[in-house]
Chains A and B, each alone.
Chain A
Amino acid sequence: MKFRDEYRDPEAVRQLAEVIARTVTRPWTLMEVCGGQTHAIVRFGLDELLPNTVTLVHGPGCPVCVTPIEYVDKAVEIALMPGVIFCSFGDMLRVPGTHGDLLSAKSRGADVRIVYSPLDALAIARGEPSRTVVFFAVGFETTAPANAMAAFRARRQGIRNFSMLVSQVLVPPAMRAILDAPESCIQGFLAAGHVCTVMGYEEYEPIAAHYRVPIVVTGFEPLDILEGVYLCIRLLETGCAKVENQYSRSVRRAGNGTAQELMREVFQVTRRRWRGIGDIAESGLSLTEAFADLDAERRFGPVRNTGDEAGECISGLILRGEKKPPECPAFGLSCTPERPLGVTMVSSEGACAAYHRYRRAPAVGGV
């Protein structure tokens, strides 16, 4: 398949793995930010192609994982209201709230629908004017422009039975929070290519300079990720803390100006709580005053912080890159995708789910 196979060429992968091995002179710990990258690393066994001295730890970039439990609770509460059609990306449906997930709300009679785009939710609202349509707007900077577009069009087309439950988050503040943590061992980052397609990478330059960490904007295919690792290690080995762009076929330094403009019109930066990580200042987006009437929290009441979940789940440590899934005593035993204790086991982009899915066979070997 074009635009895929050329980034999965076994010979090119083998050669790049060799170049990395030749470049490394001491141990390095890198974090890949995005859950999509984690998924590819674990699926293809890319970490096993690297020298033992290079450790990849998995970052917080799974939008499903970091959505706070109180938003899931609010989503379930709204979905169960009479007359409501609750629209969500498929991934969010299995995320456990305090009293069940959206799928269980659906089985109790809620009209919960999977959409592939927020504009599909808007089309449902237009088609069913007697119903109240609520869209669960979650995700990083990647989903923000399309979600902003839904709000923008709802306003322009005068669709009044549409609102959004917004829990958008931003990557750079989370990277700062991870680096500020005293336990942090991250020496370099593979930044999320699709987030940077929207936002560019200028905003990462101060992070690289302040914390003295190289950051490489990286794609999602095996060769992208290995090249990202190579560039990051080359920067580390030469003591150079700057931002490089591996994913240049998609990312420009300034990003997508049109998308950013739309985001600025519809959303404003706000404080957000991240599931498993906690409150981070200026780490999320909420609707601006001009679009506040589309805010589901205004229509159905504010989301109430229900506090951190107790229990044996260590998803917070996983999301901060401080532990790997197999280090959790519950992994694969009391915590499985059927009976998840935490959200990193639920989402297809969650690190625990990726390990559970791809890594339970012992004795896996490399090239």
Chain B
Amino acid sequence: MDIFLERLFDGVTNGAVYAIMALALVVVFRGTGTINFAQGEMALFTTYVAWALTTQDVPVWIAALVAAAIGFVLGAVTERTLIRPVRRRNDMATLVVALGLFTGFNALAGLLFNSETKTMPSLFPGGESDYVAVGGARLYWDALGVWLFVILVIGAVFWLFNRTRLGLHMRAVADNPESAALSGVPTGRILMLGWGLAGIIGSLAGVLVTPLSPHQLSLTTMFPILIYASAAALFGGLDSPIGAVVGGLVIGVLEMMITGYVEFIGGTLPQTAALVVIVLILLFRPTGLFGSRQMERL
């Protein structure tokens, strides 16, 4: 029972990270109608920067904030210079640009920080004895810290979208850019803000997940996270934040349970399994389990 609980805790912790990464993807999709394939690698890059700062004796929290700030700038600048000009052209162009960013950022991180695996210090106390006992299982502080942090982020995003004017503008732009523009909403700035926000969320995801074992900071760390986050986002048809969060948690828990209990699926096959499940969802419920049916005007 205690092993089950520990697996559950690990699953929820991982799931929480997938959830906020999925949120970042949803923010971008609602704003620009495309998925930012490069979200993971941009987060990787900012996490490397944060790591580099910690090696210079900068406190982890400050490093994390710097990473978030850089994530914001990267996101906003990318939207303005690379995505917006191409977006109206055709769907494929945006995806191709995102792919280019994916490759580019990964390689850039490798170039600047070399490919050795690094250890990223945690934002929370992560010692051997820093845990609380729950039902015979150990719930480590750093896991709990991640949960709380993620709840904060999710809460902040929901508050932003549903209770602030900025959030209202963002939803308007995502829904109908032309009408929003006509109503005086500064659509350009809103789009940049959206991507910037996604950049912050992604950076936070990176800083949160890399200290957790077995994740470490290396060039391949963020890719599986992106896969799981994409799968989680698809739970909500890419435009439902609730769906993304639920999806993330479900996937995180399932991953831990399956790798723990089922022999056949080991190593990195869970990623594939996650994607297969999503493909099946897309085939039978194309708008995801939580998303809204979208109508097209002809």
Indicate whether A and B interact.
Answer: no
Query: Which residues from chain B sit less than 8 Å from chain A, CB to CB?
Result: none
